[in-house]
């Protein structure tokens, strides 16, 4: 095989790995976002259930405070009962006390309802918190793996880029320029095998004469259909 073609074939193999690593590194943020979705959902759910519980607890405190205020009013009214002079004043006094007592009973009923709600909210909040803690562990483990993969990919990429730079020095400029032209326009695949008279880049047939020249490997041949550089690969080779 022509030395320049052999180097270009090697360059293609390097570039394929380099592109894979660059894609992996570029996709790291979105990969972390993907792992974080379930964690964020569990975090939001925990916050919602905690808020529901806090709201119910506050409502209970408000009811209790209201009941206490009304009880204080009843005590004050009863303390003033001795100062009442007329039957009309006394009857009005009793009605006010009865109304406050009725309101207190209603509040106590509401407190019982809220206490049942609090019990249910405590269960759901505890379950949400347990799920959050589980998702948190999974998320941090996944992030650690992604970050490790990214770090290893960056190191490998640095090594491959150095190899590529050294390899490029041995490729004639005209061949290298053509290679880069094809890389930019042919989905990052510039050098492909010719196998059984088929270009492995576009998978179209090539003229027998072109295929025969590719087999000889004495010059750089290109696919008449897609323009990619060709090297020969026997049919039995995978």
Number of independent structural domains in the chain: 2
Q: What is the CATH number of the domain that holds 163?
A: 1.10.287.1490
- Residue-averaged pLDDT of the chain: 93
**Residues 66 and 157 occupy one common structural domain:** yes
**How large is the average pLDDT for residues 170-199?**
96
Cβ neighbours of residue 8 closer than 8 Å, sequence gap 6 or more = 171, 175, 179, 190, 191, 220, 229
Backbone angles phi, psi at 225, to 5 degrees: -90, -50
203-224 confidence digits (pLDDT tens):
999 999 999 999 998 999 999 9
Domain boundary among 113, 147, 168: 168
Instruction: State how far the Cα of 8 lies from the Cα of 182, in Å rounded to an integer.
Output: 12
**Residues 211 and 116 occupy one common structural domain:** no
Looking at 82-91, 154-163, 183-192, 197-206, which range is the least confident one? 82-91
55-68 confidence digits (pLDDT tens):
999 999 999 999 99
Is the predicted pLDDT of residue 6 greater than 60, yes or no?
Answer: yes
Q: Is residue 207 part of a domain?
A: yes
Looking at 29-38, 45-54, 186-195, which range is the least confident one? 29-38
Domain boundary among 118, 148, 168: 168
Q: Residue 212 to residues 97, 208, 220: CA-CA distances in angstroms?
A: 112, 6, 12
Q: Is residue 142 part of a domain?
A: yes
**Residues 163 and 187 occupy one common structural domain:** no
**Residues 144 and 191 occupy one common structural domain:** no
CB neighbourhood size of 35 (10 A): 18
Domain boundary among 168, 185, 201: 168
Q: List the domain range (segments joined by +) for residue 73.
A: 23-168
The pLDDT score that the predictor gives to residue 237 is 54
Q: Is residue 12 part of a domain?
A: no
Q: Is residue 97 part of a domain?
A: yes
| DSSP, res 66 | H
**Residues 87 and 157 occupy one common structural domain:** yes
Q: Is residue 31 part of a domain?
A: yes
Q: Is residue 2 part of a domain?
A: no
Is the predicted pLDDT of residue 238 greater than 60, yes or no?
Answer: no
pLDDT top residue among 87 and 228: 228
% of the chain with per-residue pLDDT over 90: 83
Is the predicted pLDDT of residue 35 greater than 90, yes or no?
Answer: no
Q: Is residue 154 part of a domain?
A: yes
Q: Is residue 46 part of a domain?
A: yes
pLDDT top residue among 72 and 32: 72
- Determine if the pTM surpasses 0.75: no
**Residues 113 and 222 occupy one common structural domain:** no
pLDDT top residue among 1 and 172: 172
**How large is the average pLDDT for residues 107-135?**
97
128-150 confidence digits (pLDDT tens):
999 999 999 999 999 999 999 99
Among the listed residues 196, 197, 172, 187, the one whose alpha carbon sits nearest the alpha carbon of residue 228: 187
The pLDDT score that the predictor gives to residue 82 is 78
**How large is the average pLDDT for residues 22-48?**
91
The pLDDT score that the predictor gives to residue 1 is 66
């Amino acid at each position: 095989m022509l030395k320049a073609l052999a180097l270009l074939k090697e360059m293609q193999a390097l570039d394929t790995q380099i592109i894979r690593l660059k894609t992996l590194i570029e996709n790291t943020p979105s990969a972390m976002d993907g792992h974080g979705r379930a964690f964020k959902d569990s975090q939001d759910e925990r916050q919602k259930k905690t808020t529901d519980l806090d709201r119910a607890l506050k409502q209970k405190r408000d009811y209790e405070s209201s009941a206490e205020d009304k009880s204080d009013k009843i005590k004050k009214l009863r303390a003033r009962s001795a100062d009442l002079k007329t039957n009309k004043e006394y009857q009005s006094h009793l009605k006010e006390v009865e109304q406050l007592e009725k309101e207190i009973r209603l509040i106590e009923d509401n407190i019982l309802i809220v206490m049942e709600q609090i019990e249910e909210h405590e269960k759901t909040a505890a379950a949400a918190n347990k799920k959050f803690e589980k998702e948190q562990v999974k998320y941090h483990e996944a992030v650690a793996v992604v970050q490790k993969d990214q770090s290893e990919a960056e190191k490998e990429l640095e090594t491959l880029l150095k190899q590529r730079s050294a390899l490029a020095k041995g490729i004639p400029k005209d061949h290298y320029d053509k290679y880069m032209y094809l890389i930019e326009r042919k989905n990052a695949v510039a050098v492909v095998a010719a196998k059984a008279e088929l270009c492995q880049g576009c998978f179209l047939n090539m003229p027998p004469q072109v295929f025969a020249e590719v087999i000889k490997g004495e010059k750089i041949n290109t696919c008449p259909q897609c323009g990619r550089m060709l090297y020969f690969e026997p049919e039995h080779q995978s």
